[in-house]
Amino acid sequence: MALTAFTSRLGLGQGRIRPQQATPASGEYLFVLGDEEPGRRFELAPWDFAEVAQAVDVTGVDLVRTVLRLRVPPGAPAGLAWEASLVVDGVKYARCLGRPGRERLVGDMAANVSKLSGVHAVGVRLELVSP
């Protein structure tokens, strides 16, 4: 596997980690899509993204939800923003933007899946976008 901005520190500051900089909402671990350590810099281009997804049977389910913390570095490139989104089968159902130099707790991001049934890929995506 080629190392990228989103995979270069898996298990240390990226991926499923026991965090040093934050307290998990439950349990002992967080799933970090960027990097837990503030100030780490990488060369990225618009539409670069990291995503974690899992197969979920949504039969009889109205909403899928996530709670996340979005921390955006102060030096975000001009004209670009970090977007966190809740995706189902790669389609964005809910999203929020993060401002440079700010941290935001997104307490209840939800996707209406009431019209779906069966198993679908449900995930969270962190993407560099042009708002």
The rounded Cα 28 to chain-centroid distance in angstroms is: 18
> Which residue type occupies 5?
A
Q: 15 CB contacts (<8 Å, ≥6 apart)?
A: 7, 31, 32
Nearest-CA neighbor of 37 among 4, 1, 8, 78?
A: 8
Q: Which pLDDT score is estimated for 77? A: 75
| pLDDT tens per residue across all 131 residues of the chain | 677 777 767 777 777 778 777 777 677 777 777 777 777 777 778 888 889 999 999 999 999 999 888 888 887 777 888 899 999 999 999 999 988 888 888 988 999 999 999 999 999 999 999 87
Beta bridge partners of 34: none
Model confidence, pTM: 0.82
Identify whether the C-beta of residue 113 lies closer than 8 Å to the C-beta of residue 120.
yes
Q: Where along the chain do its domains lie? A: 1-38, 45-129
pLDDT of the residue at 1: 63
d(CA 25, CA 69): 10
